[in-house]
Chains A and B, each alone.
Chain A
Amino acid sequence: MRQNEIDEILRDTLRQEVAETTAGLVGLEERIVIELGERRPRLRVSGWLRQLLAPTRGGRIGQLSVVSATAAICLLLGFFVANQVGLDGGSPGIRLTPSRTTNGGQEVLFVLPALDATDVSVVGNFNSWEPTALSDDDNDGIWMASIPLPPGRYEYAFVIDGRWWGQDPLADEYVQSYGEYSSVRYVGGGDGA
């Protein structure tokens, strides 16, 4: 094979591959513009999320229904959160309007749909890994806590009825710790970036 022959083949192959699979991109601009217009903190509505929440650990019935409920509820999560905290959907701010603590941090909302749970809390490096309870006062299966945090990088996980669950859909990142997943959020400083 000549040297530039493989260059051409590579180019051709890659372009054709994209051309054949590009159907999923139709309307991407509109979807993103809409999503940004109604922006919730880092909501990802995608097949990845569904796959992610597919149960891979154990077979506890409580866990499974939590997980399948989560997949369905996440789509509606954004609207619920907006109603709860009064987001200004038209503003350029694409995160929660921050209530500033004196050292420049933010109120960070931890939200988890957990329909059948009786007890949901969050543990992380911001509370020395001791549970901070989330609450579901209106019994709609969506648990929340709003925690003021100074700027920084926070690793955390949810504890649902005693079981740790490390893949918060609203996380910025996932990491592995002691063989299990944890979630990561970055809380901005200064201008909230």
Chain B
Amino acid sequence: MSPPKPPHAKPCILITEEAAGNVYRVQDEVSLLRASLEGETEAWGEVISRYKDAVFGLCLGFLRNRADAEDITHDAFIRAYVNLRRYNLEKRFSTWLFTIAANLCRNRLRYRRNHPVATLPAQIRGGADPATIIARDDRHAEVREALTRLPYGYRAPLVLRFYNDLPYREIAEILAIPEGTVKTRIHRGKSMLKRRMEEERDPS
């Protein structure tokens, strides 16, 4: 049984003549944010629906701990709402939201340095054909393990690139590093992953 959906956002107050679907969606998002700014917490609920998987994926990738990722996802949406009036409506909302999440993750990682907990297990439960599962499972388990052991500085850009599918420029903004550094880190991060996975398979 699925939980009741939050009531829909108020209709778009910005009327546009353009037919492109994505323009409507952007305008719709701006209306949602405006409504949220005016205290319409249900409009904010709709924003959360749209972004929670993206934010959670970011947090899970950064923190490698499910409970922490859930906490930070929750905190990020609260923090973003509280700070909404500081957000420049002309800039890309997702970047701003992801930056908040990334900063909160960084704080949590700092805290975790002194209070460590177990990180994600590499095990996966799976679906169909046993042979494919095993092959795929092993590979996924390797990647997860290797990812967890990657230093944060390399892992973060990888997550933003390969989970959130963000362009280099946006990754640079979220992590506050130059775009060139983003590319280098991603390149090196992938090499390190490859090497770690090969080591796991053949520790010679």
The answer to A–B direct touch (Cβ < 8 A) is yes
Measured CB to CB, the residues of A under 8 A from B are 1, 6-7, 9-18, 20-22, 24-33, 35-37, 42, 44, 46-48, 51-52, 56, 91-95, 173-174, 191, 193
Cβ B48 vs Cβ A13 within 8 A: no
The 8 Å CB contact of A173, one of B81, B107, B158, is B107
Give 5 pairs: A residue, B residue, CB < 8 Å, sorted on A.
Answer: A7-B190, A25-B53, A26-B2, A36-B81, A46-B71
Cβ A56 vs Cβ B144 within 8 A: no
The 8 Å CB contact of B52, one of A16, A25, A174, is A25
Q: In the complex where A18-B53, A24-B70, A30-B6 touch, is A36 in contact with B83 (Cβ < 8 A)?
A: no
Interface string of B57-71 (1 = CB under 8 A from A): 100110000111111
Cβ B74 vs Cβ A21 within 8 A: no
Cβ A30 vs Cβ B45 within 8 A: yes
Cβ B163 vs Cβ A18 within 8 A: yes
CB of A101, distance to nearest CB on chain B (Å): 21
Complex interface: stretch among B12-20, B34-42, B91-99, B171-179: B34-42
Q: In the complex where A18-B60, A27-B3, A191-B85 touch, is A92 in contact with B39 (Cβ < 8 A)?
A: yes
Cβ B163 vs Cβ A14 within 8 A: yes
The 8 Å CB contact of A13, one of B53, B71, B140, is B140
The 8 Å CB contact of B67, one of A29, A32, A47, A93, is A47
User: How many angstroms from the CA of A155 to the CA of B75 in the assembled complex?
Assistant: 21
In this assembly, does B143 line the interface, its C-beta being within 8 Å of a C-beta of chain A? yes
The 8 Å CB contact of B74, one of A18, A32, A56, A191, is A32
Count of CB-CB pairs between chains A and B under 8 Å = 126
Cβ B57 vs Cβ A14 within 8 A: yes
- Which residues of chain B have C-beta atoms less than 8 A from A94's C-beta? 81-82
Instruction: Give the contacts of B137-186 with A (CB-CB under 8 A).
Output: 139-140, 143-144, 147, 158-159, 162-163
In this assembly, does B194 line the interface, its C-beta being within 8 Å of a C-beta of chain A? yes
Q: In the complex where A46-B74, A92-B39 touch, is A28 in contact with B140 (Cβ < 8 A)?
A: no
Cβ A33 vs Cβ B44 within 8 A: yes
- Which residues of chain B have C-beta atoms less than 8 A from A21's C-beta? 60, 66, 69
User: How many angstroms from the CA of A12 to the CA of B163 in the assembled complex?
Assistant: 9
In this assembly, does B86 line the interface, its C-beta being within 8 Å of a C-beta of chain A? yes
User: How many angstroms from the CA of A188 to the CA of B56 in the assembled complex?
Assistant: 29
User: How many angstroms from the CA of A193 to the CA of B45 in the assembled complex?
Assistant: 21
Instruction: Give the contacts of B100-126 with A (CB-CB under 8 A).
Output: 107-108, 111, 115, 117, 120, 124-125
In this assembly, does B49 line the interface, its C-beta being within 8 Å of a C-beta of chain A? yes
* Sample of 19 more A-B contacts, CB < 8 Å, known A7-B190, A24-B70, A48-B71: A1-B197, A9-B139, A10-B147, A11-B163, A17-B144, A18-B163, A21-B69, A22-B53, A25-B52, A28-B48, A29-B46, A30-B3, A32-B44, A32-B48, A47-B67, A48-B68, A51-B117, A56-B115, A173-B107
Cβ A9 vs Cβ B117 within 8 A: no
Q: In the complex where A32-B78, A33-B41, A33-B42 touch, is A12 in contact with B68 (Cβ < 8 A)?
A: no
In this assembly, does B193 line the interface, its C-beta being within 8 Å of a C-beta of chain A? yes
Q: Which residue of B lies closest to A48 (CB)?
A: B71
User: How many angstroms from the CA of A104 to the CA of B204 in the assembled complex?
Assistant: 66
Shortest beta-carbon contacts, A-B, top 10: A92-B39, A29-B45, A14-B163, A13-B143, A10-B162, A48-B71, A33-B45, A24-B70, A18-B57, A29-B48
Cβ A13 vs Cβ B147 within 8 A: yes
The 8 Å CB contact of A18, one of B41, B48, B56, B81, is B56
User: How many angstroms from the CA of A6 to the CA of B48 in the assembled complex?
Assistant: 31
- Which residues of chain B have C-beta atoms less than 8 A from A12's C-beta? 140
Cβ A193 vs Cβ B53 within 8 A: no
- Which residues of chain A have C-beta atoms less than 8 A from B70's C-beta? 24-25, 46-47
